[in-house]
Amino acid sequence: TGERVRAVVNIGIGGSDLGPNMAVEALRDHTDRSMTYRFVSNVDGADIAEATRDLDPATTLFIVASKTFGTIETLTNARTARDWLLAGLNDEAAVTRHFVAVSTAEAKVREFGIDPANMFGFWDWVGGRYSMDSAIGLSLMIAIGPDAFREMLSGFHDIDEHFRTAPFERNVPVLMGLLGVWYATFMGAQTKAILPYSHHLSKLAAYLQQLEMESNGKSIDIDGDPVTYDTGEIVWGTPGTNGQHAYYQLLHQGTRLVPADFIGFARPTDPMPGHHDLLMANFIAQTEALAFGTTRDEVEASGVPAHQVAARTFAGNHPTSMIMAPALTPRTLGQLIAAYEHEVFTKSVIWHIDAFDQWGVELGKSLALQVLDELRADDDPGAGSHDPSTLGLIRRYRRMREPSRSPEER
């Protein structure tokens, strides 16, 4: 339309969404605040509807991020975005001016209506969960600018070189990986908490969930044999201090072993008076409490009523790792993500599994396509097409989606 782009909407899923989405939020203070940045991943129509509800088609750019340009969730959202754009501008040529692609599949990009000149390619061997610093990060580069993006790449390179050259006893990703194997395989820990004391890292745990769980959630080793020990960790977490008022009780006094990574920064992104020292006091105090707890003698000496002494005694000895950097910048974010990438790889080598496949994801996707055809068919799928439970769910859904049916019929 000739107007300046005011909104960028990234359409992708998995690695084509989680990394850029996390990084744009992490580096919010480095973005152009006059712009709007949104991410659409869920095939639930509410996602694309909410992302476009208050946008102007004339000033919106869509980035369709899909390595194969065949991911059904991404293409469904992209087609809906295309329909929204055409309804607003009433010009078929608008697709070539308001859509770009990040992909390796030029023919499919052209078929969609995107000019291949506006396709940003990358190597087909780059896995989605390791792709944030490739062309998949286009939305991030638009948000923070090319100079800051290069700074982030320098951070990745810092840790790449450290991982490649540092002796194991001083190699941070190796030590992180060894700790992960120790807690998961030898100590029986099932989960790992990611606890960033930074509001801007609110999406870090979701990003690391895919990095860890899709990479190391394997029960077959690289020789094709079943593993005989626990692999992978269930990753979860939220920013401090919110989590302290939600689940830290279990970390301190529960019966489960939960290793935790605490991540903090010496300087705030927003220097509001009185806030950052309080935030970091909690950061430091929580790790001290988890490590050392309080003894019965200390509790009794504090004057606690006798009937509360046992409940207010903390055993301590809960494993934590503290990562503290001067400030959350593009470079430190690159360093942080690269450290976790190499940690995941280190664990996969020790566990003798392939961190770069994800066949478990493919099974559900292929079955979903079969079920989709059956949900849309006129005829009943019939006995034998699925197990009784799945067949019952399909039939019930088909009945319940008809608003004209009475509750009894549904």
* Active-site residue list: 214, 245, 365
Q: Find out whether 113 and 74 touch, Cβ atoms under 8 Å.
A: no
User: In the sheet that 234-236 helps form, which strands lie side by side, from edge to edge?
Assistant: 234-236, 191-196, 260-265, 320-325
CA–centroid distance for 404 within its chain? 40
Please name the residues in contact with 64: beta carbons below 8 A apart, sequence gap of 6 or more: 11, 12, 74, 78, 99, 100, 101, 102, 103, 112, 114
Backbone phi, then psi, for 140, in 5-degree steps? -65, -45
The gap between the terminal CA atoms of the chain, to the nearest Å, is: 49
For 164-167, the CB contacts below 8 A with 24+ separation are none
Report DSSP state, residue 57. Answer: G
**Coil vs helix vs strand at 382:** coil
Q: Find out whether 237 and 205 touch, Cβ atoms under 8 Å.
A: yes
The Cα 84–Cα 337 span in angstroms is: 35
The Cα 301–Cα 305 span in angstroms is: 10
Q: What angle do CA 145, 149, 154 make, to 5 degrees?
A: 150
Q: Give the tokens for residue 351.
A: 């566990």
Q: Give the tokens for residue 120.
A: 């940003």
The Cα 217–Cα 233 span in angstroms is: 8
The Cα 143–Cα 7 span in angstroms is: 10
Backbone phi, then psi, for 37, in 5-degree steps? -125, 125
